[in-house]
Every structure is written in C-alpha cells, then in structure tokens.
Amino acid sequence: MLTYAKPVLNPKNPLGNWLIHLGAWFAYMLYESFSVALATGTFSRITIYLLHYAVNILLFYFHAGVVLPLATSVKRNSPWMLLLLIVFEIALFLAFKFGIDHLIALLYPEMAQNEIILDKKFIAGGVWRSVYFILLASGYYYLRYYIKERDNREQLEKRAYEEELNARENLIELNNAKNAFLRAQINPHFLFNTLNFIYSRIHKADQPAAKTLSLLANIMRYALESGNGPGLIRVEDELGPAGLLLDLWKIRQEEENTAIVLDADDEAKKAKFVPLVILTLLENMLKHGNLSEKQHPGRVKIWVEDPQIILMTRNLINTGLNDSGHHTGLNNIRQRLFLTYGEEAVMQQHVEGNYFTVKISAPLR
C-alpha cells in the first residue's frame, strides 16, 4: 500500500506556517547576533538589530515570493530576466540599508562613529549581505517547489491507484452482472417449463388450482420480461397483468366480492411509465386494505394532466391489518421513481379518515 508524507509547510494552516517562520528567524537572529558579539566583544541595541534584520528579511521574501516566481514564469530569456531582477533587488536593498543606517544615526547619534557614505566599502558589504540572503531565499523557494511537486506527484499516484481499484471493482461488478443475467435467462426457462408440467398434470383433476397456477405463471412472466425490457412501458401493458393479479387474489380468498376498480383514461393507457409500479400498488391494497365493501371500493386511477401522468390509489384501511412482511413495497416504488425521474417525480401517501391514499406524479416520457 502506498503511503504519503505530509508537506513541511501546510498551505491550509497559514498560522502554523508563520509561527514556524517566526521561530526560525528568531533562532537565526540570536545565533548571528551572539556570534558577532563574541567576535567583537560588544552588543548593539535591540532596535538596531531589528531594523537591520527587517531589511534582510524583506529581501529574503521579496526574492522568494516575487523575483523567482516572476523569472520562472517567463519561458524565454528567463536567465536574463532573473539577472536583471537580482540587480534591481540588490540596488533596492542598498538603498534601504543606506536609509536604515541614517535612521539609526539619527536615533542614536552617540553611536555614530563614522560618516555614512555610499562608498566602495558600503557597496561591497551590502552586495555580500544581499547575495547571502538571496541564496538563502533561493534555497527556500526551491525547497517549497520540490515539496509541492512531490505532493502533486504523490496525489497523482494516489489518484491512479484509486482509479485502478475502481476499475477492478467495476470489472468485478460487470462480471457479476453478466453472470446474473445468464442465470436470469436459465432460471425462468426451467421455472416455466416446470409450471407448465404441473399445469398439465392438474388442470383436469383440480381446475381452480390449475387456473391459479396459470394466472401466477402469466404474472411472473410479465414481471420477468418487463424487468429485462426497456426502462418504461405503456400503462395498458400493465393493466392486463394487474387484472390477472386481482383474479388470482379472488381465487386465493375464495370470494368474489373483492371491490376494486381499475380506471385509466385513453391518453394514460398510451403513456409510458415505470413497470411493476401499478402491480406493486395493487398488491399493497390487496394485502393491507379493506376491499370487501361494495359501496366503498378500492380504486386505482390513472390519468394525464399534461405534462404529467398521475397515478392514485385509494382504499379503506383494514382494521384487522395483516402486518406480515417488511413493508418494502412503497419504499421500492419511491426508489425506482427516483432512479427513473430524479426529483421530477413526486410520491405522496397519507391517511384521511378511514382511507389510505397514494398519489404519484411523474413527467410524461
């Protein structure tokens, strides 16, 4: 497994970076000041140290933050550009140093031993000092550049590694999907052959059982074919299996007084909609609703209000509710609507008095 080192300077934590800089400069100033004091045997005032080092530090950051980025951004003649900029910043440094020395002489006249003039000695000392800090700034700049490039390279390696893992996972999922599809082609073939064999054996001896088996086989065939077909189907193609499901329910309950009305206008029948939603809603009504009162039948109504298709179910609540199952039917519908229409589809369900209502609105496709 790849591991990634954190950069020395963290751009997301500027306060921490500045604390590191301040600590480094403080340590450097102590080291150099004590070294000079030990060599000369004298200490200067803190104000003098701060003024001189302020100029040096400004040169450091000006070179690392302005001169080098400007020079490296120019593709042509960058060495000449860099040389001109260095000459300019050295001249600027000499001017600041000359001004700081005069300021110190004004603040502390008792410490002024010689007249401050722009002679060869002053220029040579200023050039040496400026070159020294320019070299330090160059090392700092290229260290940051190295860290940045290293982090970018590691990020690219990490991204490539993650993409490779995703590609492998996608390949595994694709192979699993292919295997599942092949199994889905084999299993229904075996299933329907078996159901046909059972039907041929019992249709003379037990006609109600044979009819039940035939209805079940047709509903299952529709469910499997619609699942492997296009994303949307015509509403009228599902109303037929919905009627078969209702007939199957009546046989199972051994009663003919199940009161439910399937109502879809002509425009709605021709419209396309997500398959198996009508069947799922109807199954939910048969399982949880009270459909035994003729004067209060359950209703499945489908109509078009351009640009939407609207599906609504309404039924009496069964007080002796069969609470078996995991209640996943309506959640399944909600998820399938979202996968097909996104936020454009709206599904509402509510209880009003003794009635339970589900209403779905989706854009016409």
Residue 48 has which token pair?
């003098």
Rounded to whole angstroms, the Cα distance separating 278 from 362 reads 14
Nearest CA to 113 out of 104, 125, 126, 100 is that of 104
pLDDT for the residue 24: 87
Backbone angles phi, psi at 317, to 5 degrees: -80, 135
User: At CB < 8 A and 24+ separation, what contacts does 145-152 make?
Assistant: 147/7, 147/8, 147/9, 148/7, 150/5, 150/7, 151/7
Helices 78-107 and 46-62, packing angle to 10 deg: 170
pLDDT for the residue 313: 93
Q: What is the CA radius of gyration of the chain?
A: 42
84-102 pLDDT, tens digit each: 888 899 899 888 888 888 8
- To the nearest 10°, report the CA torsion of 234, 240, 244, 249: 60
Residue 183 has which token pair?
């199994």
Enumerate the H helices of 203-296 as residue ranges: 207-228, 235-253, 266-270, 277-288
pLDDT for the residue 291: 83
Average predicted confidence (pLDDT) for the chain: 81
Rounded to whole angstroms, the Cα distance separating 277 from 235 reads 10
- By the 10 Å C-beta count (0-12 exposed, 13-18 middle, 19+ buried), 97 is classed as buried
State whether residue 234 is helix, strand or coil. Answer: strand
Beta strand 346-352 with 308-317: parallel, antiparallel or unpaired? Answer: unpaired
Architecture per CATH, domain 203-363, reads as 2-Layer Sandwich (3.30)
**DSSP secondary structure of 113-170:** -S-----HHHHHHHHHHHHHHHHHHHHHHHHHHHHHHHHHHHHHHHHHHHHHHHHHHH
pLDDT for the residue 171: 83
Q: Point out the residues of the chain with pLDDT beneath 50.
A: 1-9, 11, 14-15
Instruction: Sketch the domain layout of the chain as residue ranges.
Output: 14-167, 203-363
233 neighbors 226 (Cβ within 8 angstroms): yes
Q: Which residues pair with 308 in a beta bridge?
A: 305, 363
Distance of CA 23 to the CA centre of its chain: 40
109-128 pLDDT, tens digit each: 766 566 677 778 888 888 99
pLDDT for the residue 308: 94
pLDDT for the residue 321: 57
Rounded to whole angstroms, the Cα distance separating 264 from 301 reads 6
pLDDT for the residue 2: 35
What is the residue type of 48? Answer: I
Rounded to whole angstroms, the Cα distance separating 112 from 88 reads 29
